Chains A and B, each alone.
Chain A
Amino acid sequence: MTTPKHLLHLAWGFPPSRAGGVYRALATVNAFAAAGWDVTVVTASRETFERYTGADTSLEALVDPRVTVRRVPFDWPAQDTDIRGYSALRVALPPVWARLRRLADEVPFPEASYGPWRARLAAAARAVHAEHPVDLTLATANPHVTFAAAHDLRRAAGVPYVMDYRDAWRLDVFSGATTASAHSRVGRWERRLVADAHEVWFVNEPIRAWHREQYPHAADRMHVVANGWDPSLLEVPLVHTPRPGPGLRLAYLGTVTPKVPLAELIAGWRLALADGRLPAGSTLTLGGHLGYFAVPQGTLAQAVADAAADGVRYVGPVAKADVSRFYADADALVLALGSGRYVSSGKVYEYVAAGRPVVAVHDPRNATTDVLAGHPLVARVEQVTPAEVARALGEVPALVAAAPEHADTLARLGLAYRRDAQLAPRVAALGAALDGKHA
């Protein structure tokens, strides 16, 4: 009988965190556990998510019981909401306080807020390896400090590591701009990390292509491991609750970040309602957090509140256990995303699996467009403007009427985008590669 291989997964966000990247981390560790690996996760403390990003405790039940989770304390002064603990400098001159804080954070590792976590994370990784030798480390970013800890363990004990980029570090996926030069501290770190990595994963081909150009010597170790929808989080086929009136029910689910074109969406919604392109009484329900963090982003909250009179409802965060119900109450879904050809969405896979018409309110060049290419019920905008959003929303009544005849196509499309289908090939390949190494 062979000894199971041991995976160390380094992830800042892990259940009960409700951040978007958590679903990928959750699915990854479950996939390795299902493939027979021993899996240990090193992540931030539960309190971190309760205090700073919001927590969804229903997610913890979805972690494979064979997975061991070790939690490391994480301090995040910039997101601390206890005003009583604020210094006079922070209150009087917040920009100065923030600048000094950032400089201090970046001493151990060039990443604001997360740099100070490197020492604790690396120590925890070494402790796991000392107790139960690790065969492979898989670090997921952002934050990228997890890569540094994986690198530290490789240097200390020779453990190979995989870098799993959910976005990019030196590339702004929205603007396409390079955020740090190759000669900067970030650039030098990334070059070293990529050079020593066993594999490097990306969520879409445009991001991989950018990195292949930057690091051609590592191109053959770079792979696309796309996101997908999680069968444990969505009950398909979804039921369709009956409409209470003549209006259509549109819905958006996801974190509303400042990159989401909320203003254009709401303005377009008002236009489409005002000129009758959408039937009177239609509603747009927004579910999810407003902003990434606990500290409020007032402009988003205000924009949503001001639109209440036009049928826009904000229902707050939706626990994962309630997601199927949320989609069941929708006739069509609105996919509002930031612009940029490198932008990928985890949510789009869930939208496909939900089997509803989709209004794609995003730059047509972004990577999500490819995922929706085979979807027969998509209303696309050519540009993210209120007029274009209104035009796309105007297609919704016809798409909703046509939905029943496309049910089989949508079901097949949904199956292709299951998360486990994306992960399984890489999990198998890594197992085989390590077997070859040990043979």
Chain B
Amino acid sequence: MSTRTVLVVASPDTSDQAVESLAAPLRAAGGDVTVVDLRAPGTRTATGRLAAALSGTTASWSAARRVTAAQRAQLRDAELVVAADRTAVPAVWRTRRTNPSAALVNGVPAGQRVLAGRR
């Protein structure tokens, strides 16, 4: 039986093609994958170390605030929630309040390991 998996994507640098390539290995590992797309259109990560750290941090806060009611329901019902990028981490972290049982992991490889363990 497939595992209800939500892949959260939030980095503005992630292309649509890349989103699909991130979801594919999770599907191959047995995940029934839904993508929660929190990317803010028209923004790019700043260059420069300090600027990138600041913009990355604030972007991750903003992404967590962009979660819609429908997306929140998907996160609540998931068995596995995967942050596809660093920007998605706060949104996934907040899921622990509404979904006390799902595995919340950082990165697709970690998601693959969880799915492999459930096979």
User: Which residue numbers of A lie inside 8 Å of B, CB to CB?
Assistant: 50-51, 54, 80-84, 86, 91-95, 294-296, 298-299, 301-302, 304-306, 308, 316
Contacts and interface: CB of A to CB of B under 8 A. Distances in A.
A305 B15 contact: yes
B17 interface: yes
B75 interface: no
Interface stretch (B30-38, B65-73, B100-108): B100-108
A299 B106 CA distance: 15
A83 B13 contact: no
A84 B109 contact: no
A54 B25 CA distance: 16
B57 A308 contact: no
B96 A84 contact: yes
B40 interface: no
Given A95-B53, A296-B109, A302 B18 contact: yes
Contacts of A80: 106
Given A92-B61, A94-B86, A294 B110 contact: yes
Most central of B11, B13, B90 by chain A CB within 10 Å: B90
Contacts of B90: 91-92
A81 B96 contact: no
Interface string B1-41: 00000000001011101101110010000000000000000
Q: Identify whether the interface residues of A are mostly helix, strand, loop, or mixed.
A: helix
A315 to B, nearest CB: 11
Contacts of B104: 82-84
Interface string B84-104: 111001101100100000011
Contacts of A308: 17, 21
B83 interface: yes
Contact of B17 (A91, A94, A294, A305): A305
A298 B17 contact: no
Contacts, number: 83
Contacts of A304: 21
Contacts of A299: 13
A305 B18 contact: yes
B93 A296 contact: no
A107 B48 CA distance: 29
A296 B61 contact: no
A86 B89 contact: yes
A403 B48 CA distance: 46
Contacts of B86: 94, 298
B93 A91 contact: yes
A306 B18 contact: yes
Interface in B49-65: 53, 56-57, 61
A302 B93 contact: no
Contacts of B81: 83
Contacts of B17: 305-306, 308
B79 to A, nearest CB: 13
Contacts of B25: 316
The 3 closest A-B pairs by CB, nearest first: A305-B21, A81-B110, A296-B107
A301 B22 contact: yes
A311 B61 CA distance: 37
14 contacts: A81-B106, A81-B110, A83-B93, A83-B105, A92-B57, A94-B56, A95-B53, A294-B109, A296-B84, A302-B18, A304-B21, A305-B17, A305-B21, A305-B22
A314 B62 CA distance: 32
A88 to B, nearest CB: 8
B109 A54 contact: yes
A82 B105 contact: yes
Contacts of A93: 57
A316 B18 CA distance: 15
B109 to A, nearest CB: 5
A51 B117 CA distance: 12
A295 B85 CA distance: 9
A304 B25 CA distance: 14
A308 B21 CA distance: 10
Most central of A80, A84, A295 by chain B CB within 10 Å: A84
B29 to A, nearest CB: 11
Contact of A302 (B15, B108, B110, B113): B15
A229 B116 CA distance: 32
